[in-house]
Amino acid sequence: MNPVSKKCMKLLQSAIVCTALFSVTAQANGPIGDHVNHLTDNLPTYEKEVHWLLEKVDGIVARYEEKGAKAAHSDAIVEHWEDVKFHSAIESNYVLIYASIWQGLFGVKEAIDNGLPASAVKNEREKLSQSLWQALGAVKMAATFQDKGLLAQVQTREGAPSNSLEALDQINVQLNRVVAKYAEKLNDTSVKMVAETYLNLFEGVEGELIALDANLVEDLEKDFNVTLPKAIKANASVGQVREIIAAMTSKINKASALLKEKANNKKDVF
């Protein structure tokens, strides 16, 4: 397995620890397997799946080099990825890498479909390989935290938040999943997720937030209803969509801080 740099591992650790603060819910495209709650037991399977997937991609690349795009059957790249359990494990624990994997999958597929030189296709394959091994490293780290009881159990059914802070946490999770779905080129699904996150989660807390920072609420309303869906519909790059969501996440975190400050002030009064 390719080594992951110390810097990268620190980033992974930081991201995974964040998931310990709230429960991860079912994915937008349906329930996930309970194997994600038993990561250590399934690590050998995940690693075999990474090897298997890369072997399948290598076969497609080889056919492309020898016989051309039609013989390569590039659609099988995505089909193979959807066949493995590993995608649920990484989507549950590190959504940003999940999006990178989809970029890698489509990088290989589109290089083939566009008739690029074999060297360019192989370069995209290497990018995909790096993302997959990085993802496996993230899942292994998540397994360690899970074994220590530091990760919340992954819910296989959608659960409603019990308070405003939980709702804001879920909003951040859903926004990261929007990036992942957009990287899958599921534009309609991404737009729908944005709308549902706004209607089902943000609208429930905006009344409380308006009293604390009306301008912040107005900014987020524009982000949810104009800026983000407009970028998705305009086929902006994954990087551009990620930047918009990063800015939104920063605002959501500010909203969380305001709610926590309000709660602490109430305690001080009593």
Instruction: List pLDDT tens digits, range 208-260.
Output: 999 999 999 999 999 999 999 999 999 999 999 999 999 999 999 999 999 99
pLDDT number for residue 249: 97
Q: For residue 43, name the pLDDT band (cuts at 50, 70, 90).
A: very high
Q: For residue 45, name the pLDDT band (cuts at 50, 70, 90).
A: very high
Cα 26 to Cα 157, 158, 177, 212, 246, distances in angstroms: 5, 5, 11, 31, 22
- In the chain, the number of structural domains is 2
pLDDT number for residue 31: 47
Are residues 142 and 168 both part of a single domain?
A: no
Residue-wise pLDDT for 146-190, tens only, equals 999 887 676 544 556 778 999 999 999 999 999 999 999 999 999
pLDDT number for residue 150: 81
Contact (Cβ atoms closer than 8 angstroms) between residue 181 and residue 28 = yes
Cα 159 to Cα 146, 174, 252, distances in angstroms: 20, 13, 20
* Averaged pLDDT, 128-146: 93
Q: For 34, which DSSP code?
A: G
Are residues 214 and 95 both part of a single domain?
A: no
Q: Is 153 among the domain residues? A: no
How many other CB atoms are found less than 10 A from the CB of residue 179? Answer: 23
Q: Give residue 66's domain range.
A: 6-147
Percent of the chain with pLDDT over 70: 82
pTM of the entire structure? Answer: 0.69
CA nearest neighbour of 142 among 40, 265, 54: 40
Are residues 66 and 127 both part of a single domain?
A: yes
